[in-house]
Structure 1
């Protein structure tokens, strides 16, 4: 029997590991009334068949073009490595399909701009996966500030650990250390977190930055091979946001024995701390602590049940599911509430400004 579910095709799905199997599959299954996973395409047909069998997906396409151009697919999902985003997204847009591409949308500002301009000319929904902007903790922060919990916001500080980008790596993640691949500490953990920060406090008005490296090589743990490392492992930014809010940011590679994510917001009437286990604000549970007025110590501020809204508790699947729900509603109601390619462009313009400032420092 024919249903009105949105038929999904995923490009880049591995049953053994990686992002799509841990996030997109459980998110789509959670929203089974809205979506039907119809097809998969990987680097090889054999890999696609293995994924289709593992996840009980009807069609294993011979290649990405076959999936993109199939009449069985309404929505194309791109979850491959960043250097392959541009051509796949471009092909999907040219085919007239709705698309959800993981962030970074393009490898650099120019690719991102071209895709955003192309999407603007098409009558399709083009969504980017900046998951932190839909996290329930971020929605609650927006509400707290709107309701005057902090009074006038004065300043904010952000400290985060990238997890990778030190002097050791596993072979599968070495590509993160080659800046040419567009998957650096700047463009992944810091970018995702800045998307969340600016959705709460507004855009950057001014900034100065410095980007440095403690390590110029990285050892591949499986083989002991030492390879070049060109992606920076220390990023510092100071500046001002909307309404003159002062901001200071420091991201560092690896994991800290101390703080791995601490975002503090200070106002005339109160203070808030957001804490997490890793500097990927889109991937980890966030805890919000606050105090205002005569209160002397921070207290845990629990996200209201109505904001959690019964989505999966694990943020890896839950935040992706929230984007998919917005996407489904946008397709059916001709609205535009899911993070868009234009949002991706604005974020990459910020990243580009951080890089330009660091070069001119």
Structure 2
């Protein structure tokens, strides 16, 4: 089978700083996944100018025949490109995805899909009209532990789901200040904010496994209302930067299935609990617990995640999470493994193995519902 021909938008030439993030730096994770996989071939690169695209091709040691583009429209019109990857700041997703979908190209875009639900709706409709496949980088769904949770629920291992609770800890605390590169994370309507990233990445596997909320309530609280903002050298450039995103997010309600659910996500400097994320699903015949270690994000690879299964009429067991995976997936750096799993699922036709633009739209829709009903605690 011929490899999938890929065009990348946003592959940087900048090495990520100690802050761990710079706009476009995640494109390097995509590059590692693609370089390892026999299913893909990078044939084109698009940056803000043709000159920058050529520089990135050279810097990242891509094949010299890789085409260089300075506009998303030109890339989208290339007949030799099958899949377009958009790995840039979220506020540019909409403008870069639209020409790709209008030219009936499959796409892989980072999560959040956009910073606006209206834009998410429009992109979902465009993808539907184009009849193309899409991948959204909400990587948690690719975590073998979370995939196992879904399999157990679908198999009826705990009978009917009655109630569920999700507790998460985010390392997005502002108590010691925040790097300028991460300031969007503390803005209520910032694309990669605490709600879209911290809550949204967990909502994708939650909705995929248990379905949507029929009725929902929420409470938000921001304790640290200002924080010091510092640049890459550690110099404080704003001693009282306003933080509008909630540090504490509490969501509860009734799912469409009739089960009751609660979600509690907190942003503190460290976690008292060794489990950064804990998800318990109680059913008529048993209970499932998923845990992942503190200090990470739910979309990370989670090599030490655990799934426990207890039957009401039986004992408790730790579920075997081992899976046969090709070396080109497992040889990727740890935090990028789930992205490699998304690529593998897409290439092998496993549509249940990756989120689409439509599933991302559902996450953003729920987030909009939550923000509208949320009560802000003083």
Provide the TM-score with structure 2 as the length reference: 0.83
The whole-number CA distance in structure 2 between the counterparts of 1:209 and 1:289 is 28
Which of 40, 59, 68 does residue 54 from structure 1 map onto?
Answer: 59
The whole-number CA distance in structure 2 between the counterparts of 1:336 and 1:291 is 26
Provide the TM-score with structure 1 as the length reference: 0.87
The whole-number CA distance in structure 2 between the counterparts of 1:202 and 1:117 is 21
The whole-number CA distance in structure 1 between the counterparts of 2:376 and 2:242 is 24
Describe the superposition over 1:41-80 as per-residue Cα deviations: whole angstroms up to 9, x where unpaired: 3345554344322332234433444433334422111111
The aligned runs of 1:43-122 (5 Å cut-off) are 43-45=48-50, 47-57=52-62, 58-122=66-130
Deviation of 1:271 (Å)? 2.3
1:40 maps to what in 2?
Answer: 45
Deviation of 1:95 (Å)? 2.8
Describe the superposition over 1:73-119 as per-residue Cα deviations: whole angstroms up to 9, x where unpaired: 22111111111111111121223322111121121210100111112
Contact 1:160 1:279 in 2 (8 A): no
1:261 aligns with 2:277: yes
Describe the superposition over 1:284-325 as per-residue Cα deviations: whole angstroms up to 9, x where unpaired: 4132123224666x543221425x566427663332223223
1:326 aligns with 2:345: yes
Deviation of 1:163 (Å)? 1.8
Which of 304, 317, 323 does residue 305 from structure 1 map onto?
Answer: 323
The whole-number CA distance in structure 1 between the counterparts of 2:352 and 2:317 is 36
The aligned runs of 1:282-301 (5 Å cut-off) are 282-285=299-302, 286-293=305-312, 299-301=317-319
Gaps of at least 5 residues in structure 2 are none
Aligned length: 353
Which of 29, 32, 37 does residue 26 from structure 1 map onto?
Answer: 32
The whole-number CA distance in structure 1 between the counterparts of 2:145 and 2:207 is 14
CA pair 230-54 structure 1, distance change in 2 beyond 3 A: same
The aligned runs of 1:195-344 (5 Å cut-off) are 195-221=204-230, 222-224=234-236, 225-226=238-239, 227-259=241-273, 260-277=276-293, 278=295, 280-285=297-302, 286-293=305-312, 299-306=317-324, 311-312=329-330, 316-330=335-349, 338-344=354-360
Other structure's SS at 1:179 match: coil
CA pair 210-64 structure 1, distance change in 2 beyond 3 A: same
The whole-number CA distance in structure 2 between the counterparts of 1:231 and 1:166 is 11
RMSD (Å) for aligned C-alpha atoms: 2.7
Gaps of at least 5 residues in structure 1 are none
The structure carrying a bigger helix percent of its residues is 1
The whole-number CA distance in structure 2 between the counterparts of 1:245 and 1:279 is 28
